[in-house]
Amino acid sequence: MERTFIMIKPDGVQRGLIGEVIARFERKGFTLVGMKLMAVSRELAEKHYDVHKDKPFFGGLVEFITSSPVVAMVWEGENVVASGRTLIGATNPISSAPGTIRGDFGITIGRNLIHGSDAVETAQREIALWFTEPELASWTPANHGWLYED
Ligand code: GDP
Ligand code: MG
């Protein structure tokens, strides 16, 4: 089973959208295997967004992510990395389709509510960066057979 790293950013937490985001992943059928509300250190934020370190928005992005708590989560399921990105919507909320999280709740790219890993390898790197092994629970939901054929 595939896993992805999902983070509700400070704007999503401040705007009271934690439950809304979790509900969307839950009702899709994905399984929550790790979750914590936490303040993010500058070091962790810089490591997480390392790929963007030379971009003009990097400084502001690190400031934003460290400004207020986030909810870090790991979700599991078939194709959860790509499907998670579909649930989230395009990077710029103004071009995200209605029905997606960013499309329904966001307006600007610098306040787009949520992060989701963009590839399976990225997900593995991000999960290892944000969670220790004991913080992740491997479990099979009772409705598994009603979501998957085998
Ligand atoms: P994502 O994978 O859809 O989150 O998008 P990226 O990996 O391209 O960018 C990471 C995050 O940086 C985005 O979610 C935005 O919060 C932020 N970001 C990206 N591009 C811009 C930009 O042009 N301006 C600002 N202010 N923030 C940006
Ligand atoms: Mg990205």
Tens-digit pLDDT profile for residues 20-45: 999 999 999 999 999 999 999 999 99
Look at residue 124 and give its three-state secondary structure: helix
Over residues 72-127, the pLDDT tens digits come to 999 999 999 999 999 999 999 999 999 999 999 999 999 999 999 999 999 999 99
Judge whether 116 and 6 are in contact, CB under 8 Å. yes
pLDDT surpasses 90 at 150: no
Distance 91 CA to ligand 1 centre (A): 6
Q: How far is the CA of 109 from the centre of ligand 1 (A)?
A: 6
Amino acid at 128: A
Q: Where are the domains of the chain?
A: 3-137
Ligand nearest to the CA of 12: 1
pTM for the whole structure = 0.98
Report whether 85 belongs to an annotated binding site. Answer: yes
Instruction: Given the residues 48, 52, 115, 144, select the one marked as catalytic.
Output: 115
Model confidence pLDDT, tens digit, residues 43-54: 999 999 999 999
Q: How far is the CA of 65 from the centre of ligand 1 (A)?
A: 12
143 among annotated binding-site residues: no
CATH topology of domain 3-137: Alpha-Beta Plaits (3.30.70)
Instruction: Please work out whether the CB of residue 57 comes within 6 Å of at least one atom of ligand 1.
Output: yes
Characterize the bridge pairing of strands 114-116 and 2-8.
Answer: antiparallel
Residue having the nearest C-alpha atom to atom 12 of ligand 1:
61
Calculate mean pLDDT across residues 2-17. 99
Give CB contacts under 8 A, 24+ apart, made by 86-90.
Answer: 87/24, 87/25, 87/28, 87/116, 88/114, 88/116
Two tokens, residue 130: 């944000």
